[in-house]
């Protein structure tokens, strides 16, 4: 299970493994109930307010999408500025840019809540396959010299620090989480 989810394979149910187990359980229940596997969480839209809006506004700001000041008096209100930030985020992630925060947008926006582990030369497994897939490579699952070079080219093209190592920021820009979602949908 840990290998399939790109986690450190140690047989220990830590916070990341527990989060992945919960996500897998939710997905399995949804599929068993005839859904496409996305959660049935609430859809947030312009005009609504709450702590979730405040947190999401901060999350969008953290990723470079100017959604407004979450600590201001009106920080918990889903306004036009936030709607536009959500649309830009959705467009960049290949989603339907409707400005609403539904299950799919939430899944991608919070995909790194528990973080994907860094992958580098010598690593192997499902997470490496996901990275290779997103780089347009044949996903063999071995992080070799060719993968290092592809990562460096990608990082340079995206204005990231060129290291050849896939850290959290590289995962985010690369969209490794989308590969995970696609692979889960194919199971």
Domain annotation for the chain: domains and CATH numbers: 51-101 (no CATH), 126-186 (1.10.101)
C-alpha–C-alpha distance, residues 17 and 12, integer Å:
8
Check residues 129 and 183 and name the one with the higher pLDDT: 129
Check residues 175 and 181 and name the one with the higher pLDDT: 175
Phi-psi region of 38 (alpha: psi -120 to 50; beta: other; left: phi over 0): beta
Residue 5: predicted pLDDT: 59
Position 187 confidence tier, pLDDT thresholds 50, 70, 90:
very low
Tell me the helices (H) and strands (E) count for the chain, helix number first.
8, 0
Residue 113: predicted pLDDT: 46
How high is the mean pLDDT of the chain?
78
Position 24 confidence tier, pLDDT thresholds 50, 70, 90:
low
How large is the greatest C-alpha to C-alpha distance in the chain, in angstroms?
51
Position 35 confidence tier, pLDDT thresholds 50, 70, 90:
very low
Average pLDDT over residues 53-68: 84
Render 113-173 in DSSP notation, one character per residue.
Answer: SS-PPPB-TT-BSHHHHHHHHHTTS---SB--HHHHHHHHHHHHHTT----S-B-HHHHHH
Residue 25: predicted pLDDT: 58
pTM: 0.44
Residue 63: predicted pLDDT: 76
């Amino acid at each position: 299970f840990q290998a399939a989810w790109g986690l450190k394979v140690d047989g220990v149910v830590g916070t990341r493994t527990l989060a992945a187990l919960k996500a897998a359980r939710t997905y399995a229940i949804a599929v068993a109930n005839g859904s496409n596997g996305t959660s049935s969480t609430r859809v947030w839209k312009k005009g609504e307010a709450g702590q979730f809006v405040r947190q999401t506004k901060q999350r969008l700001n953290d990723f470079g999408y100017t959604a407004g000041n979450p600590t201001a008096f009106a920080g918990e209100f889903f306004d036009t500025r936030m709607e536009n930030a959500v649309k830009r985020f959705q467009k960049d992630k290949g989603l339907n840019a409707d400005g609403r925060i539904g299950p799919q947008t939430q899944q991608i926006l919070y995909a790194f809540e528990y973080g994907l582990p860094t992958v580098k030369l010598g690593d192997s497994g499902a997470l490496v396959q996901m990275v290779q897939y997103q780089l347009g490579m044949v996903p063999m699952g071995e992080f070799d010299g060719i993968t290092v070079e592809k990562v460096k080219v990608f990082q340079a093209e995206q204005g990231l620090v060129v290291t050849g190592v896939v850290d959290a920021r590289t995962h985010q820009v690369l969209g490794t989480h989308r590969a995970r979602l696609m692979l889960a949908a194919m199971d």
